[in-house]
Amino acid sequence: MLFRGQDTRLYLMQEVGRFVVIIGLLLVVAGVILWRFPSLLSWMGKLPGDISVQKGNFSFYFPVVTCIVVSLVVTLLSWLFRR
């Protein structure tokens, strides 16, 4: 016999499991797309505003604008999925 707390816990675990499976499938689809079409995201990391310093045998690279664009896209997607 399931008590109220156990029933809720079981439901939550099923939802978490479903969420993990969906995220896994999305990652597989994204991986296959990037594997088949590697030039699809060739612009990533080469946007104006990304910092790149090379002096002698030292190089430093920080994709500031790329990080901002990725953050905006992820924020927009999470906002859309919550609605």
DSSP states of 51-81? EEEEETTEEEEE-HHHHHHHHHHHHHHHHHH
Tens digit of pLDDT for each residue in 12-55?
888 888 889 999 999 999 899 888 988 877 777 788 889 999 99
Number of domains forming the structure of the chain = 2
Question: Which pLDDT band, with edges at 50, 70 and 90, does 10 fall under?
Answer: confident
The answer to whether residues 35 and 48 belong to one domain is no
Q: How many CA atoms lie within 13 A of 67 on its CB side?
A: 7
- Rounded to two decimals, the pTM is 0.55
Domain that holds residue 71: 43-83
pLDDT greater than 90 at residue 76: yes
Residues 54 and 68 in one domain: yes
For tokens 């997607």, name the residue.
77
Give the span between the Cα atoms of 45 and 31, in whole angstroms: 18
CB neighbours (10 Å) of residue 50? 15
